[in-house]
């Protein structure tokens, strides 16, 4: 395994020897499986989808497959699995998918419902309770498991439309991402063995603040800015999922995401239709957000 530059010491983690693949599980919903983008079925043969194929015989690749490709590019050995169900949080996975989750994983990345709680948007109570249950379950199987929480992005469809519901209607687009981050921080404090938070929503906010990405997908902002949202202004676009995978890569491996494109482009960006300049901007955004 070749040696690659690490992020600052606080982010650097020990990587398993090349002869022992690190077993990682991604738990989530459509925000993890890459809905409405080219990422959804990307390289699904390179990962283990723990749910059956769809009616067309297709399995999910999603962000976990992007992560897998990044680790291969970096010379790392990760055995990647995913347990994803659209529109569900940790409560569903604990109740309905325990058999798939209750195994001795080395690393787990968990992502809950997009509004923290479907019935009570913005209220972290359910997330706090189910995060602790999930963390305890994982630790019982492997006391050394590293469990990361992925804090997701602001949903434009919950902010801009005239019929958008409370609590984010009419607020600055960055506010929902900040509230989601706070909810996950509270959940992490309540579960003693959470290894850290992947602040994806804050990275989206930074992209908007820096002018790299559009703040309002309902307006025509021209071709110079990336639209991190998919056509529904809810899920992520390929740009958003690429950023998610880069954040996962940097946090889990401790490596600088910028190493993924030493010559200006990696094949994952090319496959997703992301230009070299856009890819460089997204990787730098991931590095800078993780290195705060």
DSSP 132-196: HHHHHHHHHH-TT-EEEEE-----GGGTSSTTPPTTTTTS-HHHHHHHHHHHHHHHHHHSTTEEE
Residue 8's pLDDT is: 53
- Name the nearest CA neighbour of 64 among 47, 85, 88: 47
Residue 141's pLDDT is: 97
Residue 261's pLDDT is: 84
Instruction: Answer yes or no: is pLDDT of 262 > 80.
Output: no
Q: Considering only the top CATH level, what class is 17-290?
A: alpha beta
Give pLDDT tens digits for 189-206. Answer: 999 899 999 999 999 999
Give pLDDT tens digits for 120-146. Answer: 999 999 999 999 999 999 999 999 999
In which region does residue 124 sit, left (phi positive, over 0), alpha (psi from -120 to 50) or beta (all else)?
alpha
Q: Take residue 239 and report the two structure tokens written for it.
A: 């740009």
Average pLDDT, the chain: 93
Give pLDDT tens digits for 27-46. Answer: 999 999 999 999 999 999 99
**Contacts with 216 (C-beta within 8 Å, 6 or more apart), sequence order:** 156, 160, 173
């Amino acid at each position: 395994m070749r040696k690659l530059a690490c992020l600052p010491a606080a982010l650097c983690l020990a990587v398993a020897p090349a002869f022992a693949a690190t077993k990682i599980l991604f738990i989530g919903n459509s925000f993890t499986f890459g809905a409405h983008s080219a990422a959804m079925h990307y390289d699904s043969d390179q990962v283990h989808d723990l749910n059956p194929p769809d009616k067309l015989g297709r399995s999910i690749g999603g962000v976990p497959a992007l992560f897998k490709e990044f680790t291969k590019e970096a010379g790392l050995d990760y055995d990647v699995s995913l347990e994803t169900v659209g529109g569900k949080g940790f409560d569903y996975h604990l109740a309905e998918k325990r058999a798939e989750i209750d195994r001795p994983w080395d690393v787990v990345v968990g992502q809950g419902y997009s509004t923290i709680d479907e019935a009570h948007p913005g209220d972290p109570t359910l997330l706090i309770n189910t995060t602790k249950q999930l963390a305890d379950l994982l630790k019982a199987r492997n006391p050394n498991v590293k469990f990361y929480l992925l804090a997701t992005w602001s949903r434009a469809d919950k902010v801009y439309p005239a019929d958008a519901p409370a609590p984010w209607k009419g607020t600055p687009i960055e506010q929902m991402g900040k509230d989601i981050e706070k909810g996950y921080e509270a959940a992490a404090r309540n579960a003693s063995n959470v290894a850290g938070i992947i602040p994806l929503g804050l990275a989206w906010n930074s992209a908007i603040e820096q002018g790299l990405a559009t703040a309002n997908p309902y307006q025509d902002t021209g071709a110079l800015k990336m639209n991190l949202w998919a056509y529904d202004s809810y899920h992520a676009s390929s740009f958003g999922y690429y950023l998610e995978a880069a954040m996962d890569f940097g946090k889990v491996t401790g490596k600088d995401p910028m190493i993924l494109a030493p010559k200006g482009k990696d094949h994952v960006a090319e496959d997703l239709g992301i230009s070299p300049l856009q890819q460089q901007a997204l990787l730098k955004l991931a590095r800078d957000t993780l290195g705060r």
